């Protein structure tokens, strides 16, 4: 069975996100291929991604697959029910301005039902006197804004919470941002969002 392999560098629109295999599978299935997609494999060490099909792809189909790879943003799958985008790797900044760690485009939401936004991340600072501030917002509407001081530079401080959106609330993008408030280097990892339909 033919395999089509891509380097992580071919995913040119990831930004700070990671490859989302579930979303990537969904995006491939939205295209028209003569062969069926059997599975997608992510190499643990090289981070390369392989696509296994039931048959060979034409030159035009290979171009289409390459476009799917290039346009993949790493955002979680937006389906009725739940979306779970994440950015697991460690990011750092010495800036006093907010930097985006994870952004999720909510797409079209059902206007007749409420949704729940959940989040989780782990925060640290290279200085015991430094503080790291986290901001969770949707379309600029801030729903969480804690500042966290790491008393031990080897300790990662977890931060999580949730927020309910009333039915009819329009949401375009949900983000987790971070910045350094004082000294040291602000650090964040394992940033996760969850958008859930509330029945």
Domain extents in the chain = 3-71, 82-197
Distances (CA, A) of 191 to 108, 175, 185: 23, 10, 17
Q: Which of 67, 135, 72, 142 is nearest to 101 (CA)?
A: 135
Share of the chain above pLDDT 90, in %: 55
Tens of pLDDT, residues 116-148: 899 999 999 999 889 999 999 999 999 999 999
Determine the number of helices (DSSP H) and then strands (DSSP E) in the chain: 2, 14
Both tokens assigned to 97:
């301005």
Residues 8-29 have a mean pLDDT of 83
Residues 101-107 have a mean pLDDT of 85
Tens of pLDDT, residues 160-176: 999 998 877 777 789 99
Asked if residue 61 lies in contact with residue 7, where contact means CB atoms within 8 angstroms, the answer is no
What sign has the CA pseudo-torsion 105, 159, 166, 142?
negative
Domain 82-197 fold is Jelly Rolls (2.60.120)
- pLDDT bracket for residue 110 (50, 70, 90): low
């Amino acid at each position: 069975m033919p395999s089509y392999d891509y380097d992580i560098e071919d995913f040119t629109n990831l930004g700070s996100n990671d490859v989302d295999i579930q979303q990537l599978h969904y995006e491939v299935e939205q295209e028209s291929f003569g062969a069926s997609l059997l599975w997608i494999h992510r190499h643990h060490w090289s981070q390369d991604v392989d696509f296994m099909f039931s048959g060979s792809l034409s030159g035009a189909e290979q171009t289409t697959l390459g476009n799917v790879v290039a346009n993949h943003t790493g955002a979680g799958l937006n389906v009725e029910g739940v979306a779970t985008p994440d950015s697991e790797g460690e990011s750092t900044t010495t800036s006093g301005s907010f930097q985006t760690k994870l952004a999720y485009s909510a797409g079209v939401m059902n206007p007749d039902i409420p949704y729940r936004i959940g989040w989780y991340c782990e925060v640290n600072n290279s200085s015991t006197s430094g503080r790291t501030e986290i901001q969770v917002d949707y379309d600029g509407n801030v729903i969480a804004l804690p500042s966290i001081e790491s008393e031990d530079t080897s300790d990662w401080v977890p931060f999580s919470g949730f927020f309910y959106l009333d039915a009819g609330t329009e949401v375009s993008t949900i983000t987790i941002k971070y910045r350094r408030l004082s000294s040291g280097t602000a650090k964040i990892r394992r940033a996760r969002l969850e958008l859930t339909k509330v029945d």
